[in-house]
Chain A
Amino acid sequence: MHLDNLIQQFQKKDKVAFETLYNMYAENICGVINVILKDPERSQELCQDVFMKIWDKSDQYDASKGRFFTWILNIARNTAIDELRSKSHKNQKKNLPVDSLVGIYENSEDLNGKIDTIGLQSLLKGLKDKCILLIDMLYFKGYTQKEAAKELKTPIGTIKTRIRSCISAIRKNMA
């Protein structure tokens, strides 16, 4: 079934369609949460919670506002960030450590056997720290382009071209 039809069925509370979407995205959503929490067990639990939220909020997804993946990515990282905040009692997004992807990359040895360490290392091979930081901010912390530009004291245009080259590097590593 085409993705658009699948999403339409899911929005009509079709459980079969929802299962298909779960099988397509659950691993990635758990991966997103684990990048932020760096806690595989807790990430698995939260991942289930995130899919419950996705099911409950199904009518809120609006294709004109972005990709379905982007929508569930946003729900996942908000849930994970809330979890971090409730632990650290920090209220500001900017107070969160901006090192989750860097951290999971550097400490991947510790997570060995729990995540695909080899796959991660080969994907990020040759990427500069600046790149990993920017991917972390935009994809795993939910910074808008403006917020990222302000935080990094870099013009928006530079942010855009940089994220373009960073993702392109990952895509090359995939090939």
Chain B
Amino acid sequence: MEVEKYIASGILELYVAGALTPEQNLEVQHYAIQYPEIKKEIEAIEAAMMELTRTTSPKMPEDGFAKLRAELDDVIPFMPASSEKKTPWGSYLGWAAAILFAAGTLWMYFQNTNLKSEIEISNQEKENLEEIISTTREEVADKESLLEELRDKNVTVIALGGQAVSPDSYAKAYWNQEEQKVIIDAQGLPDPPPGFTYQVWSLKLDPLTPTSIGLLDDLASDNTKLFTLENPNASEAFGITLEPIGGSETPTLEQLYTLGAVGA
């Protein structure tokens, strides 16, 4: 960099005048730090302008700064008072907008949280309802298939009447000989005492030959009171006795609750 050429270019005169672009200002400043001759030259140009403007200056009052100082002392502490005259609507508006925005955001946040929890509750309810619907559907399907089974043309309905030990008891047997199945409707039997269960017998009458076809376990807790049992026998009657849990080899006839003959 040729310092003398740079100085001679006249850029420093323009720098002091403030006639350069911001980039050029930075460049000059950079060189002024790097090259003392340039800094000195800038100061000399400034001194010339200081001298020129000194000669054009009106006589300065002796107390120039004293007056200014009074104004500084006056104005600075009372800045708020002077700004009171000009109501800073822009500032108020800005704050008001900011507060409104914050409140709005907060409100939306809570709304959103509420909605989210409401949605969650709704979803939960929906799931519950769906479960109920599917359970109900299953029940309906079960009942429909049960009804179909009961309506089957091969089904013989046998009413089992109450016996001496429990005259009010009753039951029904829906016997499908084709499928070798018996559905026992135990609606009319009392809940068995603890340690006991009902046992269903297929009977041949002459001579009296009972064959166990199954137990009505957990009758008390079974809502439908319907039990499907296998029955490959050529039954002539069905009987239900109360037996110890697990059932017995032969029926305890003293505890015969219901009895009914096929075709009776």
- The B-contacting residues of A in range 130-156, CB under 8 angstroms, are 135, 138-139, 142-145, 148
Specify the main secondary structure of chain A where it touches its partner.
helix
Residues of B within 8 A of A71 (CB): 18
Contact of B25 with A34 in the complex, beta carbons under 8 Å: no
The yes or no answer to A85 lying at the interface (CB within 8 A) is no
Residues of A within 8 A of B61 (CB): 44
Contact of B58 with A70 in the complex, beta carbons under 8 Å: no
- Beta-carbon nearest neighbor of B14 in chain A: A145
With contacts A19-B65, A160-B13, A163-B13 taken as known, whether A144 is within 8 angstroms of B54 at the C-beta atoms is: no
A-B contact count (CB 8 A): 157
Cβ-neighbour of A142 out of B14, B15, B18 (below 8 A): B18
Contact of B69 with A69 in the complex, beta carbons under 8 Å: no
Contact of B14 with A174 in the complex, beta carbons under 8 Å: no
Task: Identify 8 new A-B residue pairs, CB closer than 8 A, beyond the known A31-B54, A119-B54, A123-B51.
Answer: A44-B58, A116-B55, A116-B57, A138-B19, A144-B21, A148-B19, A160-B14, A162-B10
Q: Interface on A for B, CB 8 Å cutoff?
A: 15, 18-19, 22-23, 26-32, 34-35, 40-41, 43-44, 47-48, 51-52, 55, 63-67, 69-71, 73-74, 101, 104, 114-117, 119-120, 123-124, 135, 138-139, 142-145, 148, 159-164, 166-167, 170-171, 174
Subset of 8 A-B contacts with CB under 8 Å: A28-B49, A31-B57, A32-B53, A34-B57, A52-B71, A67-B42, A124-B52, A161-B9
